[in-house]
Structure 1
Amino acid sequence: MQKITMTVNGRSVTADVEGRTLLVDYLRETLNLTGTHVGCDTSQCGACTVHVDGMAIKSCTMFVGELDGAEVRTIEDMENKDGSLSALQKAFQDHHGLQCGYCTPGMIMSLSALLRHTPKPTEAQIRHHLEGNICRCTGYANIVKAALAASGQMPSADAFAQ
């Protein structure tokens, strides 16, 4: 067992962990943060993407014991301070960027990292950035539209309703 202290969604967490515990399992089973999904267990699908020290990572590829002193952010912490949906979450909703929703948390975590570093990405940059995230339902077109809308490069769906 190893003692670690890290920050998860703005809260300090201290725990004794086994070295072989994956971050995704720790988040889901110990911290009950079940928005991070387990899709493939082989780092192929991206459903388990979270932010570690500001970088999007697949949490099935990282041992929690490696995270002493790290800052982890999950989908549960993506909303605005007032509890409303973030611009990216709202864009996913407005542009139908989800169907079954299983991949959505990982997509949002990946895209939010892209938008933080590249505020106005091109469609090609968005598609390239999503190569590590698999969606079996949508075909990605509406996910790309959602990312473009969240970056202010296309009107929100609310603009079409008027």
Structure 2
Amino acid sequence: MARRDIDREWESIIGSIPIDHPIGKFAYDRWGLSIFDHTYDSHVATYLPRPALTKTGRIAKKQPKKPQKQPYAYWKAQCAFRGLSPKGTIVQLQERLEGHENDPMLEEFNALEEQAKMDFTDKNNQAVEDKWDQRMPDEQKMSTDLRRYMTETFPLARRARKLW
């Protein structure tokens, strides 16, 4: 991978690309695949409300502080990524996730994410090139990528340097 491609990996000009799927509308941006505006969370168990139990199995009087609340769309997304139905109330979705907290994202979605990453990279690289060619003033080109600016502006100087 060329140096310029490595830099572009972190320079995101386009926001996200939409992906249609039977489950719903996915999107891919530089943070990954998302559905219902949420990405896969491997630490979903930290947000599931669970009562503390005594040694005998009863609910303890003193309970730990409640986990941070997550929106309805978060729970729908976590169910969808694990292949569970994303329909129902928050409580139903949380109950559905019980026992599936550590499940990985479905292979189907991993493949979808890999394809989307390639598409996103191609579109983003094209947007970077378009920005470079059309809208960027020379001063900004020099501060962004001096070597590229110099070789494009003075192509004969590069050839002359090779002769020395």
TM-score bracket relative to the smaller structure: under 0.3
Q: Which has the higher helix share?
A: 2
Q: Which has the higher strand share?
A: 1
TM-score where L is the length of structure 2: 0.22
TM-score where L is the length of structure 1: 0.22
> Larger Cα Rg: Structure 1 or Structure 2?
2
